[in-house]
Amino acid sequence: MIHLTETAANHVRNYLLNRGKGEGIRVGVKTSGCSGLAYVLEFVDDINEYDQVFEQHGVKVFVDPKSIVYLDGLEMDYVKNGLNEGFEFNNPNKKGECGCGESFTV
């Protein structure tokens, strides 16, 4: 299961409305950085039949079968700290991360 906070869902919904199309967002992982994995976010225009779909606060989140192993239980929030803003990932599967925070290990 992937959990979106209401703040994150509102942010995604606004982007989809401004974009004018899209079914939701896809959350996945890719090999990257010095620790191994990095989060990937993209808009979903065409649904993949193998994706798992989670809907919260009116927003659909799609996850491919390979990524769900690393992301099950993930909570996504959208935070603003001063001039910085972005998605924050609370992943119960994460065992460590690199010093810069770009990648993580499970």
What are the structural domain ranges in the chain? Answer: 3-105
DSSP per-residue codes, 31-89? EETTTEEEEEEEEESS--TT-EEEEETTEEEEE-HHHHHHHTT-EEEEEEETTEEEEEE
Taking Cα atoms as reference points, which of 25, 2, 26 lies closest to residue 12? 25
CATH code given to domain 3-105: 2.60.300.12
pLDDT attached to residue 92: 84
Give dist(CA 29, CA 103) in Å, integer: 10
pLDDT attached to residue 13: 95
- Contact between residue 96 and residue 29 where contact means Cβ atoms under 8 Å apart: no
The pTM (predicted TM-score) of the whole model is 0.83
pLDDT at 20 exceeding the cut of 70: yes
List residues bridging with 104 in a β-sheet.
Answer: 37, 97
Instruction: Encode pLDDT of 51-90 as tens digits.
Output: 999 999 999 999 999 999 989 999 999 999 888 889 998 8
Q: How many residues does the chain have?
A: 106
